[in-house]
Amino acid sequence: MVNLGIIGVGYWGPNFARLCYEEENASLCWFADVDEEALRKVRQKYPLVKTTKNYKELLKDKKLQAVVITTPAQTHFKIAKEAMLAKKHVLVEKPLTANLKEARILQNLSKKSKRVLMVDHTFKYNPAIRRLKELIESGELGKIYYILGSYSALGPIRKDVDVLWDLGPHWVYTLNYLLGSKPLLVDAKGGEYLKSGMKDVVFINLKYPQKVLANIHITWIYPKKDRSLTVIGDKKMAIFDDVSPDAKLAVYDRGVSFNSTDPNFANLQAVLRDGDIVIPKVESKEPLKECFRHFLECVAEKKKPLTDVNDGAKVVEILEKAMVSMRKNGASVVI
């Protein structure tokens, strides 16, 4: 049994509270939040759980083994650092930190403290994404040419971070996972349409090893909810659509090839292949629950998390480089 506290009772805090009660290996002991009204609401729903406006009080509890941090991104570093110094295991919302310097400090602290520091990179626990990775690694899609991603909707508008740090992490860590590496180069451009100094739309280009290209579109200003990745291979193509109720993953037996061995390009004949569309069977599991269950397992068995502090630091590094590119008007930046 892992005794837990939740720091931050905003959007994600109540979700983790629910998971604590659904998992037999978790015991929810504390809530911490600066908002008294938020605490009042959780006290009504969870009357046996202690509450505090000062998370430091929670960290003093020696019976508490782990904390879940769902506070604004700029506070992640400070709270995670203090939690590990208090000998607590930590699950923190993405992004890990607001900059790479802070991420490096947490990497070292996690190693020295021998405590689990895990980042909630939820899509890596999504059964459809895991099936897509299997398709890529098995060679069923063939050589991967490029990947197109969109994480867009009309809101919600964040006040603590811009859209790059809000939505960007999702597809960055997912692409790293699918392709088994981090990118070599990044270039990015963004727009500020709602508020000066706050990017609300960003286009990111990433170049991975083996000449794989990826383009990501992220925005809070879009007419519909779109969370999709399209993977183009030389044998088949696949689309992950997290919004689809019954086709989270679709594999298209479509492609193009040339049927001439003549080295003269003018004589090459393009052949288009338009075959079947297959909807693979994917397990119906809640990614957040799988992520939380993995955290509990890592704490109990002292295992290295799939989405550990190193995974989180890679994402922060890429986002920082994307910011540099935007300041340079979209120039490519080496990662």
Q: Divide the 335 residues of the chain into consecutive groups of 10 and give the mean pLDDT of each group.
A: 96 94 96 96 95 98 98 97 98 97 97 96 98 98 97 94 97 98 98 96 98 98 98 97 96 81 65 87 95 98 96 98 98 98
In a domain, 37, yes or no: yes
In a domain, 312, yes or no: no
Residues 232 and 262 in one domain: yes
- Give every CB contact of residue 41 below 8 A, 6+ residues apart in sequence: 9
Q: Which two tokens stand for residue 261?
A: 């061995």
- Give every CB contact of residue 257 below 8 A, 6+ residues apart in sequence: 234, 270, 271, 273
Residues 231 and 212 in one domain: yes
The sign of the dihedral angle between the CA atoms of 9, 10, 14, 19 is: negative
pLDDT at residue 272, rounded to an integer: 80
Residues 183 and 325 in one domain: yes
- Give every CB contact of residue 79 below 8 A, 6+ residues apart in sequence: 7, 55, 67, 69, 71, 92
Residues 109 and 131 in one domain: no
pLDDT at residue 299, rounded to an integer: 97
**CATH number of 146's domain:** 3.30.360.10
DSSP 8-state assignment for residue 303: P
pLDDT at residue 268, rounded to an integer: 66
Burial class (CB within 10 angstroms; exposed 0-12, middle 13-18, buried 19+) of 158? middle
Residue 327, H or E segment: helix 309-327
Burial class (CB within 10 angstroms; exposed 0-12, middle 13-18, buried 19+) of 133? middle
**CATH number of 80's domain:** 3.40.50.720
Residues 9 and 89 in one domain: yes
Direct distance between the N- and C-terminal alpha carbons of the chain, in angstroms, rounded to an integer: 41
Residues 160 and 249 in one domain: yes
pLDDT at residue 265, rounded to an integer: 62
In a domain, 251, yes or no: yes
Spatial contact of 9 and 39, defined as CB atoms under 8 Å apart: yes
Residues 151 and 272 in one domain: yes
What dihedral do alpha carbons 131, 133, 137, 143 form, nearest 10°? 110
DSSP 8-state assignment for residue 30: E
In a domain, 161, yes or no: yes
86: how many CB neighbours lie within 10 A of its CB? 18
In a domain, 92, yes or no: yes
In a domain, 134, yes or no: yes
Spatial contact of 213 and 146, defined as CB atoms under 8 Å apart: yes
Residues 19 and 93 in one domain: yes
pLDDT at residue 271, rounded to an integer: 76
Residues 250 and 197 in one domain: yes
Spatial contact of 21 and 29, defined as CB atoms under 8 Å apart: no
Which residues constitute the domain of residue 35?
2-122+287-307
In a domain, 313, yes or no: no
> Strands across the sheet with 2-7, in order?
50-52, 26-32, 2-7, 66-69, 89-92, 117-119
Residues 236 and 248 in one domain: yes
pLDDT at residue 317, rounded to an integer: 98
151: how many CB neighbours lie within 10 A of its CB? 24
Spatial contact of 214 and 199, defined as CB atoms under 8 Å apart: no
pLDDT at residue 119, rounded to an integer: 98
pLDDT at residue 24, rounded to an integer: 93
In a domain, 209, yes or no: yes
Residues 99 and 133 in one domain: no
pLDDT at residue 270, rounded to an integer: 72
- What total number of domains does the chain contain? 2
Q: Under DSSP, is residue 251 helix (H, G, I), strand (E, B) or coil?
A: strand
pLDDT at residue 131, rounded to an integer: 98
Residues 96 and 166 in one domain: no
